[in-house]
Amino acid sequence: MNEQEAIKAYMRRRGITRIRPTAALIDMDGTLYDSMGNHADAWYRLISGIGIECTRDEFFLYEGRTGASTINLLFNRAYGHDAAPEEAKELYHKKTLYFSDMPPVSPMPGAKEMVNTFLSNNITTVLVTGSGQNTLLNRLDTDYPGAFPTERRITSHDVKRGKPDPEPFIKAMTIVNASPEECIAVDNAPLGVKSGAASGAFTIGVTTGPIPREELSKAGADIVYSSMTELAQRLPILISIILQTGK
């Protein structure tokens, strides 16, 4: 589906004839940072280390969930119950330490251009992540100056129900006082795309890991790009088509 068709389909579904975006709600891991491999390694080290059988690749499927939610999913599979809240907290802390020990990750190629395109079109950028990983959160101001000040961040600390629930994206809309139709969500994972689509935002899916693009379409993405570089190239066109709506 091209941009024009994607926008038309979105407007039809929302029952609107015009879109004027004011905010872009942007995921962090696998979208702003090439960090998913390290996360999968850290999770695998943690979970296999406590004797729960798992594979490294399965952690790509849990991308977007909060740490506690991933831990409980694995506990339920192995033992049939959640982890005690204190234990979950401790385990997640351990996972963040393992992640910090790994080689530093780079910003995703194309992500800076994407952010700059939004900002130069007066579209405010907001971070929407299920992560509470300070290793990356603390780098945002350096890697994306001015784009994600602390008051424009939704992290695992701000939500009760993480992705795939729409709560994180809805909360992000509240902090910038935008309606769903004024927002563009960007996420690379099926659960994140599901959350963005359920929030009512125009949702861009970007495949940056081993998940095939059909999975993002199935999760409800309005349009899917095959890399952040492709999204960066196409975004000015997408925005100009959006700004033509209702004219």
Interface ranges with Ca ion (CB under 5 A)? 27, 29-30, 63, 188-189
Got the DSSP string for 22-72?
A: -EEEE--BTTTBS-HHHHHHHHHHHHHHTT----STHHHHTTTS-HHHHHH
**57 vs 1, 33, 41, 175, 242, CA distance in Å?**
29, 18, 9, 34, 36
Q: Please, which residues have CB within 8 angstroms of residue 20's CB and are 6 or more apart in sequence? A: 182, 242, 243
Q: How far is the CB of 17 from Ca ion (least distance, A)?
A: 32
Q: How far is the CB of 114 from Ca ion (least distance, A)?
A: 14
The smaller minimum CB distance to Ca ion, of residues 117 and 208, is found at 208
3-state class (DSSP) for residue 111: helix
The smaller minimum CB distance to Ca ion, of residues 29 and 182, is found at 29
The smaller minimum CB distance to Ca ion, of residues 11 and 184, is found at 184
Strand partners, 204: 186, 223
Q: How far is the CB of 217 from Ca ion (least distance, A)?
A: 17
The smaller minimum CB distance to Ca ion, of residues 14 and 112, is found at 112
Locus of tokens 């943690």: 46
Strand partners, 154: 128
Q: How far is the CB of 245 from Ca ion (least distance, A)?
A: 28
Strand partners, 25: 126, 185
Nearest residue to Ca ion, scored by beta-carbon proximity: 30
Q: How far is the CB of 95 from Ca ion (least distance, A)?
A: 16
The smaller minimum CB distance to Ca ion, of residues 29 and 222, is found at 29
